Amino acid sequence: MVNLKTYFSYKKFAGQTLRIVYLNQSYFLQEESIRLLREMGHEIEVLNIPDTPKTMLDALLKTCLQVKPDCIISVNHFGFDYEGKIASVLADLDLPVLVWYLDDYRFIIPDASPLAQPNMLLFTIEKQDIPHLKRLGFDAAHYLPTGSPLPPGKKYDTGAYAYLNRAVSFIGGTFEDTRLRWRKDGYEALFKTAMPAGFQPQSGRFFIDTLKTKIGSRFDSEAEFYHFAGYAAARATQSYRSELLRSVSPHPLHIFGDSHWSRFRLPAQLHPPVDSLHTAPQIFAASLINLNMSSVQLKTALNLRLYDVPLCGGFLLTDWKEDLAELFDVDREAAVYHSAEEMKEKIDYFYKYPEKRQPIIRRAAERIEREHLLIHRLKRLITIARERFNPAS
């Protein structure tokens, strides 16, 4: 290890062009991030994550020996073992690691402390998580929201979905596969007992935190609680979305999502899932109203709909999240609802006055193109990493 330490003792982040080892799991925003980092002029070596930690460590060290990287980038700590062995080796070799959490870290690594190392720079879409991450030992934790990977200025309304011009559309899933993945005997009964009465994600109450306060003491460990919380979040999101979608009637509703929607018997025309980079933008652009209904596990963070829909020239009606007020001028750049009743009222309003949508779409798109593209986030990530690992640069 002494020889390896010497080998990797070169100055990191010394040049404008960075050498980056990117740990790829073919996950949300990874392909787009790799492409954009290359467009920014960086040299990206993609390492597809092997099945086992031992194989992963061997492959990672071999790749780093070949590349001599300025840093390693991961999403959601993909490629790392929960015991922190890989993280410890990389810290000992003084190889910077940048991790961007695009999901709630508590479902991935309930006990995150073994992964906390001085060479690790953490980014999260949830600003509310930063104090807790720092208490776990991640001293360098930063807020970094998502951003649109779609190219601005492109014409997305191709006419292929003209039948949506007077319709409400929702692109999204039931979370049924997620619910089944987390399910254990007794979970459904416990969910019905523990579900916060009258819970609405827009209320400012955080679902997982509320759940933990109510029944966390019933579980022997953090990992056991978060296993149940994964089930409960999927189940609650199902209930939340299906209730809201029922409120769209009598307006025509089109749902693009998984086959499980059929069992909810909603007053809607159902369609298969669509590709997020090619087909979804055409639907966004064509629909009179696009609905956004966040997963209940999100605290204050925004999902990609807030950025993608206006950038495509589409109109979005979204549930309230606190970060809206930080990232947009809510009164001029967004249409927001706080309940099923308010959502229905606003759908009725925009059906009656469809011309009122255009200024909101235009202003939101201008804001997104100026501040909220994925490339803006990646530039921010690299800037923070330079300041951390080579402040003189």
Query: Does residue 19 sit within a domain?
Result: yes
67 and 141 belong to one structural domain: yes
- In a domain, residue 354? The reply is yes
C-beta atoms surrounding 310 within 10 Å = 28
φ, ψ at 337 (rounded to 5°): -125, 155
> Domain holding 209: CATH number?
3.40.50.2000
| Distant-in-sequence, close-in-space partners of 290: CB < 8 Å, separation ≥ 6 | 168, 169, 170, 171, 283, 284, 305, 309, 314, 315, 316, 317
Residue type, 281: P
pTM: 0.94
What is the structure's pLDDT at 199? 63
Specify the CATH number for the domain of residue 113. Answer: 3.40.50.2300
Residue-level pLDDT, tens digit, the chain, 393 residues: 558 999 999 999 999 999 999 999 999 999 999 999 999 999 999 999 998 888 999 999 999 999 999 999 999 999 999 889 999 999 999 999 999 999 999 888 866 678 999 999 999 999 999 999 998 899 999 999 999 999 998 999 999 999 999 999 999 999 999 999 999 999 999 998 888 666 666 555 688 888 898 899 999 998 899 999 999 999 999 999 999 999 999 999 999 999 999 999 999 999 999 999 999 999 999 999 999 999 998 999 999 999 999 999 999 999 999 999 999 999 999 999 999 999 999 999 999 999 999 999 999 999 999 999 999 999 999 999 999 999 886
Residues 131 and 204 in one domain: no
Residues 246 and 347 in one domain: yes
Q: Which H, E and C letters describe 168-214, residue by residue?
A: EEEECCCCHHHHHHHCCCCHHHHHHHHCCCCCCHHHCCCHHHHHHHH
Q: Tell me how far apart the alpha carbons of residues 96 and 382 are, in angstroms, rounded to a whole number.
A: 12
Judge contact between 245 and 266, C-beta under 8 A: yes
Domain, as residue range, for 320: 162-372
Q: Where are the alpha helices (DSSP H) in the chain?
A: 2-7, 30-39, 53-67, 85-92, 130-135, 176-182, 187-194, 207-215, 222-246, 279-286, 305-311, 323-327, 330-333, 340-352, 357-371, 374-389
Same-domain status, 183 and 120 = no
Contact 281, 312 (CB under 8 A): yes
The widest CA-to-CA distance across the chain, in whole angstroms, is: 72
Can you give the pLDDT at residue 322?
A: 94
* Per-residue confidence (pLDDT) for residue 106, from 0 to 100: 87
- Residue 59, Cβ neighbours under 10 Å: how many? 16
Instruction: State whether 142 and 191 are in the same domain.
Output: no
Q: Is residue 152 part of a domain?
A: no
pLDDT score recorded for residue 185 = 96
* 129 Cβ neighbours under 8 A, 6+ residues apart: 101, 104, 105, 141, 299
Tokens, residue 189 = 């009964």
Q: Are residues 271 and 305 in the same domain?
A: yes
Asked if residues 233 and 208 have their Cβ atoms less than 8 Å apart, the reply is yes
pLDDT at res. 202: 57
Same structural domain, 78 and 225: no
239-250 pLDDT per residue, tens: 999 999 999 999
pLDDT of residue 361: 98
State whether 297 and 166 are in the same domain. Answer: yes
The three-state DSSP-derived secondary structure of 256-317 is ECCHHHHHHCCCCEEECCCCCCCHHHHHHHHCCEEEECCCCCCCCCCCCHHHHHHHCCCCEE
Same domain, 258 and 338: yes
Name the strand (E) or helix (H) holding 122. strand 120-124
Q: Is residue 155 part of a domain?
A: no
Asked if residue 332 is part of any domain, the answer here is: yes
Inside any domain, residue 151: no
| Spatial separation of the C-alpha atoms in residues 236 and 192, rounded to whole Å | 10
Backbone angles phi, psi at 151, to 5 degrees: -70, 125
262 token code pair:
């059929």
Residues 121 and 169 in one domain: no
Residue 157 lies in a domain: no
Q: 168 and 302: one domain? A: yes
CA distance 377 to 393: 20
Q: Residue 114: what pLDDT? A: 84
Cβ pair 167, 290 in contact under 8 A: no
Question: Would you say residue 95 lies in a domain?
Answer: yes
Using CB atoms within 10 Å of the CB of residue 128, give its burial: 0 to 12 exposed, 13 to 18 middle, 19+ buried.
middle
pLDDT at 226: 92
Count up the domains in the chain and report the number.
2
Whether residue 302 sits in one domain with residue 174: yes
